[in-house]
Chain A
Amino acid sequence: MLRYVALRVLIALVLVWLVSTLVFLVLHLVPGDPAELLLSAGNTAPDPEAVAQLRSQMGLDRPVLAQYAAYIADLTHLDFGVSLRDQNPIAPELALRLPRTLELILAAAVIASLIGVPLGTLAAMRDGGWSEKLVSLLASAALSTPVFVVGTTLVLVFAQWLGWISAGGYVPLAEDPLRHLSLLAMPAVTIALPLTAVMIRMTRASVLEVLEKDHVRTARAKGLARGPIIRRHVVRNALVPVITVLGLEMGTLIGGTVLVEYVFNWPGLSGYLVRAVEARDYPEVVGIVLVISFLFVLLNLLIDITYAVLDPRVKLAK
């Protein structure tokens, strides 16, 4: 087990390096001069002086390999450079906002798992029945409605019309725990909704598949009651592919936070990102994209480990 974890960590580190390199390459592989591209808007040619200044500020006048070396060296110190807009260092801002985004993601993942797995199991056990049809219909609808539509609708109904919760904002947990949680509720539920739908669909498919397996027949042949069979021999086995899907969906989930944080004014990484992209502040965007990608790799690492705990075969395979 320990060796498996060590190996996974190693792979995660390699991935982090590869992703950083990819992000570096995106800027340099784009045809045309990056500085010129960043400063151009519409069809007007940018001011040559400003381009030259940006080039030297971003180090674009140095050889590419030297730029790459400096870039990677800075990253190992978690130094993401300074913003083009206000010259402030980017790292402290990231450190402040990262936990807030993480909180949203984890809250959503917990909500989705707690609702999705039982409902999915129920739908599989009642396959073809009215409860399965209802659950599947709701899941399809939830999956098809974009998070920003759901978020905006929630704001309209619960904040504007009913006035139950404020439309958005953020209060640190230490300051006012209750208000913090009430502000967390709507964005977390919004992100959780499509994820819950995915979990329901995946759990349903997975449970249906496991129910067809020979070992379930063995469990019945043992004379076990329905409860233990479902718990120990069906859901336990069905979780393995569900966890895999959770990992694959993590990207969509993180993408969802960008929109949801924007809708609810949640001061996480994403609002920061939107403003950075609007201002085309390249160093800021790179910093945020990298941090979120690292987070993504980290979450997938955690999922890989969970996977190994659930399925003993994984540790020995590969």
Chain B
Amino acid sequence: MSPVIEALELTRNFPSRSGWVGAKRDVWALRGINLSISRGETVGVVGESGCGKSTLGNILLGLDSPTGGGVRFEGKYLHDFKGAHRRQMRKRMQLVFQDPFGSLDPRRSVGAQIADGLRNHDVVPAAEIPAEVARLLTLVGLAPSVAPRRPSQFSGGQRQRIAIARALAPRPDFIVADEPVSALDVSIQAQIVNLLADLREELDLAMLFISHDLHVVRHLCTRVVVMYLGRIVEEGPAEQIFTAPRHPYTQALLAATPSLKRPAGETGKVLDGELPSPANPPSGCAFRTRCALATGDCASAVPPLETVGPERRTACFHADLTAGQGGLQ
């Protein structure tokens, strides 16, 4: 099946200066990202803050422009579209935000906000807009009668449902969900995760699911990419990544994640040190400063993302040593 959206050698750097006269340094947010997502597939992006996962989402949606490389949507490069054409493209891809309190305009009714997407792209004739808004609200599990209310009258979980309805309004083919459940309580989180899983099935969507909660990603996603300091370090089917990780960083991340299933008193290996500054990343493999397996090779060259199994890729010179270690039950 041909992918809906593809990232090709995406690079994004943010120029930064220390002071007006200071040395100019680039902060590398993304480096050489290749990724493709097909219909019905949910790709999870995991990594710690500063790894570039949100930047990746923004660029795939065309809300930010890459410094190098390009994004192809159904085979056509996004950067070939400008102005009104670009806005036309936007109906095909939508975004769900992390903060359910900031993502809705407090001054307008939720119905009007859902209708914006319908009006912008003439999805349905003007007369049918109220009916379509009602349909979308029902789809996300809310009563159609709530349309005239302001966002302040809803709880966090309900707002996230409304935000999802708004994203679905233009009938997109591709959705980026940027930490959509991390601001919600556990019991509400489960409701939203279930809703997203249902929608993916029903609407045959391609989805990029950005999250730092590995358990949620494992539950929801079909495929996972692990990012560290702007690069993909590991990629593969979700179940395999979690049960048989190959990159030392993935293994460390899994070990660091508290689990209910882990026997009491047993803690995983704790990774030392902190994320290096993206403005001044280590040479070669960015993870080598915290990696137990690091050797001289790791400092001199960036390990390429190599195939280590069916649909499995990892970027580690020592991937032969890591098989069979780590992983969640």
Contacts and interface: CB of A to CB of B under 8 A. Distances in A.
Do these two chains interact?
A: yes
Interface in B2-42: 18-21
| A interface bracket (residues with beta carbon within 8 Å of B) | under 10
Contacts of A313: none
Interface string A305-318: 00000000000101
Contacts of A7: 19-21
Contacts of A318: 19-20
A interface: dominant SS: helix
Interface in A255-305: none
| B interface bracket (residues with beta carbon within 8 Å of A) | under 10
B21 to A, nearest CB: 6
A119 B18 CA distance: 39
Interface in A1-60: 3-4, 7
Contacts of A3: 19, 21
A222 B73 CA distance: 56
Contacts of A4: 19
B interface: dominant SS: loop
Contacts of B19: 3-4, 7, 316, 318
A20 B33 CA distance: 51
Contacts of B18: 316
A318 B21 CA distance: 10
Contacts of A316: 18-19
Contacts of B20: 7, 318
Nearest to A6: B21
A7 B19 CA distance: 9
Nearest to A315: B19
A1 to B, nearest CB: 12
Nearest to B21: A7
Most buried by A among B18, B19, B20, B21: B19
Nearest to B17: A318
A4 B21 CA distance: 10
B279 to A, nearest CB: 13
B20 to A, nearest CB: 6
Contacts of B21: 3, 7
A217 to B, nearest CB: 23
A318 B17 CA distance: 8
A316 B18 CA distance: 7
A30 B37 CA distance: 61
A4 B20 CA distance: 10
B18 to A, nearest CB: 8
Nearest to A11: B20
Interface string B70-99: 000000000000000000000000000000
A54 B18 CA distance: 51
A165 to B, nearest CB: 49
A118 B20 CA distance: 36
6 contacts: A3-B21, A4-B19, A7-B19, A7-B21, A316-B19, A318-B19
Interface of A: 3-4, 7, 316, 318
The 3 lowest CB-CB distance pairs between A and B, nearest first, are: A7-B20, A7-B21, A7-B19
Given A3-B21, A7-B20, 8 more contacts: A3-B19, A4-B19, A7-B19, A7-B21, A316-B18, A316-B19, A318-B19, A318-B20
